[in-house]
């Protein structure tokens, strides 16, 4: 896969942001894990980020519908779709009141979003409503006891409010593209999930849990330190990420950095 011409001469951090699967084994694995869990053709993605998963689903032939409330994510996914030439259906809104009919989607994807929603049980009920009978729901959240401690309590306070912060640096490198990443209230983690709370929330929302797995073990922390602070090229961490994901598969779920679950209605 080649990068669009608009991204060939920009900073490497911008390339990695829009095409992370080309620079990180962890993100390749992440993409394959999510796409392998999808069922049917009509997909709803709640929260799109830079649009990299959206692009990969569209390229695989899925009929993708996206809803997002973040202004910077909206700008990024529209920019990404323009330069990479892929089409999808977009609605601005949030997961608390999905503007879709009942039993409409074959699969719903919500990764790295649920922890940002205070009334997360209401959003899960909305997802159940728009999902077809026996449709798939793929959901990912971080672990309160690993990611929640290291990122939310240590890394985020140290980095995000300084020139070392991811959004601060990326905004500088995105400026030639007319993009920026200002902090929004939707960026903050509001809900903390343990594995027990996560499973219970899914089951109480009338989902059948088919599979759940660790996403990774410590790759996120290592990449933040080496790539963010020491400016190491992300591709150089691929061998470590491969080992880390292998180890994560053999660790108890309570030790993982976060989880991906596959459920059915």
The per-residue pLDDT for 81 is 96
Round to whole Å and give the CA distance between 121 and 115: 11
- Read off the pLDDT of residues 144-175 as tens digits, 9 standing for 90 and up: 998 888 877 777 777 766 666 788 889 999 99
Using a pLDDT cut of 90, give the percent of the chain over it: 78
Q: Check: CB of residue 254 under 8 Å from CB of residue 143.
A: yes
The per-residue pLDDT for 36 is 95
The per-residue pLDDT for 222 is 83
What strand order describes the sheet that includes 105-111?
89-92, 63-68, 42-46, 105-111, 131-142, 258-264, 208-214
- pTM score > 0.95 for this model? no
Round to whole Å and give the CA distance between 180 and 237: 26
> Rounded mean pLDDT of 192-215?
96
The per-residue pLDDT for 160 is 67
Task: Name every residue whose Cβ is closer than 8 Å to that of residue 265 and which is 6 or more positions away in sequence.
Answer: 128, 131, 132, 133, 134, 135, 137, 206, 207, 208
The per-residue pLDDT for 231 is 79
CATH code: domain of residue 139: 3.40.50.150
Phi/psi at 174 (5° precision): -85, -15
- Read off the pLDDT of residues 23-76 as tens digits, 9 standing for 90 and up: 999 999 999 999 999 999 999 999 999 999 999 999 999 999 999 999 999 999
Round to whole Å and give the CA distance between 48 and 190: 19
- Read off the pLDDT of residues 99-126 as tens digits, 9 standing for 90 and up: 999 999 999 999 999 999 999 999 999 9
The per-residue pLDDT for 226 is 79
> Model confidence at 184, in pLDDT bands (50, 70, 90)?
confident
> Model confidence at 187, in pLDDT bands (50, 70, 90)?
confident
Domain hosting residue 199, numbered range: 5-264
* Domains in the chain, number: 1
Q: Check: CB of residue 147 under 8 Å from CB of residue 191.
A: no
């Amino acid at each position: 896969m080649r990068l669009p011409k608009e991204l060939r001469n920009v900073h490497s951090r911008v390339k990695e942001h829009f095409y992370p699967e080309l620079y990180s084994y962890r993100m390749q694995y992440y993409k394959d894990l999510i796409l392998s869990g999808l069922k049917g053709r009509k997909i709803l993605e709640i929260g799109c980020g830079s649009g990299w998963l959206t692009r990969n689903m569209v390229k695989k032939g899925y009929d993708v519908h996206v809803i997002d409330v973040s202004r910077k994510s909206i700008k990024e996914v529209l920019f990404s779709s323009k330069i990479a030439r892929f089409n999808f259906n977009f609605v601005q809104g949030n997961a608390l009141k999905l503007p879709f009919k009942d039993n409409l989607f074959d699969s719903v994807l919500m990764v790295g979003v649920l922890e940002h929603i205070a009334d997360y049980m209401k959003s899960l009920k909305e997802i159940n409503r728009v999902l077809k009978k026996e449709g798939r729901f793929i959901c990912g959240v971080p672990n309160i006891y690993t990611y929640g401690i290291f990122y939310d309590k240590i890394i985020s306070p140290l980095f995000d409010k300084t020139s070392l912060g991811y959004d601060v640096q990326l905004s500088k490198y995105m400026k030639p593209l007319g993009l920026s990443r200002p902090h929004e209230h939707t960026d903050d983690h509001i809900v903390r999930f343990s594995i027990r709370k996560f499973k219970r929330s899914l089951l109480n929302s009338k989902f059948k849990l088919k599979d759940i797995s660790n996403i990774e073990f410590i790759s996120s922390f290592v990449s933040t330190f080496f790539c963010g602070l020491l400016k190491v090229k992300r591709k150089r961490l691929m061998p470590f990420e491969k080992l880390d994901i292998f180890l994560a598969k053999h660790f108890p779920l309570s030790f993982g950095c976060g989880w991906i679950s596959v459920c059915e209605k």
